[in-house]
Amino acid sequence: MRRRSADILAIESSCDETSAAVVRDGRTILSLKIASQIDIHVRYGGVVPEIASRMHMEAIDALVDAAVDEAGTTLCDVSAIAVTVGPGLVGALLVGVSHAKAMAWALRKPLVGVHHIEGHIASNYIAHPDLVPPFLCLIVSGGHTLLADVTDYGRYRVLGSTRDDAAGEAFDKGARILGLPYPGGVQIDRLARQGDPAAFDFPRAKLGEDALDFSFSGVKTALMQFVRKQPEGFAQEHIHDLAASYQQAIVDALVDRTAAACRAGGRSTVVLAGGVAANSRLRECLANALPTGTVLRYPPVSLCADNAAMIASAAWYRLMEGETAGLDINASPGLPFAET
Ligand code: KG4
Ligand code: ZN
């Protein structure tokens, strides 16, 4: 007997994007709405948590309505409500979680709580309808950097992670040192295209011969100390070469560990996820470094950033396993990425 298709309405509000989406069977986006707050936070050089929560509250109602309308469905017809429960900014998460709980209760629909990182991984299920686990996944965002063996839907084995800054954080902090606006990753990526990645030598931390962990605090400090020693105006004058060299140091570390994990684990598919998966140099260098025959997949740039479609996709696989949440779920700002 054919199973009826399931449309999941999801909300994502963990940081500075409010998003609502309706996704069918975990793979097809029926609608995706994103209200970015970057124009406001850019004035402060980073996300201001209090402002983020307030802006989520202002945006969420209309955004959910718009997502449901655009999907050509109604609230009564969606199969479940999904929401990011963590990790993220507590006030920001609370807006989405409260909204989702209220809807699930009022509509008598199942509620699914999703880990933000699991959502990022699932963005690839939307982008690549033929992608199925197992695969090796490098998750690189503003708050996380980890290598995971995805053994099945929602089943992970963490192989390595950052011991300090996340890769996106390193991009953002480096950009700040270079006088570039927030969020810095995309600026560095753009400027680096006209620069020489070998112009300056920044350190690539290696934590033991076989270790698959990362460390990015050293490269950021090296950039800061280097720029400080230079005459005024040096950073602006050499911005392309500095961006390219700094980016290359981060990319080399990511590529080195991912290629090593791929060789060691023998997975034939490698997947990128998270905001930094949008980085053009990372995509290029990783493609060149993977063993011959390995398939490299990543989402389109639009799905690398935070969005609710990826949350709906991850939720669908949880729902298939009967994993629903009670109305007592809460925002969990430090939610660990559970190995299952
Ligand atoms: O996944 P995401 O949207 O939010 C978190 O879950 O953290 O990732 C945001 C991060 C930021 O640090 C941003 O600078 C970085 O992704 N990012 C990039 C690029 N686009 C966004 N980093 C490098 N190159 C890019 N093109
Ligand atoms: Zn994210």
The two tokens of residue 120 are 């990022």
Q: Report the percent of the chain where pLDDT is more than 70.
A: 99
Specify the pLDDT at position 183: 87
Closest atom of ligand 1 to 117 CA is: 6
Say what the pTM is. 0.96
Ligand 1: residue whose CA is nearest its atom 1: 275
Coil/strand/helix, residue 19: strand
Q: Please, what sign has the CA dihedral across residues 299, 303, 307, 313?
A: negative
Q: What is the pLDDT of residues 103-115, one digit of tens each?
A: 999 999 999 999 9
For residues 301 and 316, give the distance between their C-alpha atoms in angstroms, rounded to a whole number. 22
Instruction: Decide whether any atom of ligand 1 lies within 6 Å of the 171 Cβ.
Output: yes
The stretch 212-217 carries a mean pLDDT of 96
Q: How far does residue 73's CA lie from ligand 1's centre (Å)?
A: 32
Q: Give the tens place of pLDDT for each residue, 164-181.
A: 999 999 999 999 999 999
Q: How far is the CA of 16 from the centre of ligand 2 (A)?
A: 10
236 C-alpha to center of ligand 2: Å?
Answer: 30
Any idea which residue has 């949008």 for tokens? Answer: 278
Average pLDDT estimate for 26-53: 93
pLDDT above 90 as % of the chain = 92
Beta strand ranges found along 131-219 (DSSP E): 135-140, 145-152, 155-161
Span 279-331, pLDDT tens digits: 999 999 999 999 999 999 999 999 999 999 999 999 999 999 999 999 999 99
Summarised one tens digit per residue, pLDDT across range 49-67 is 999 999 999 999 999 999 9
Q: Where are the alpha helices (DSSP H) in 81-209?
A: 90-107, 116-127, 167-177, 184-192
Q: Residue with the nearest Cα to atom 7 of ligand 1?
A: 142
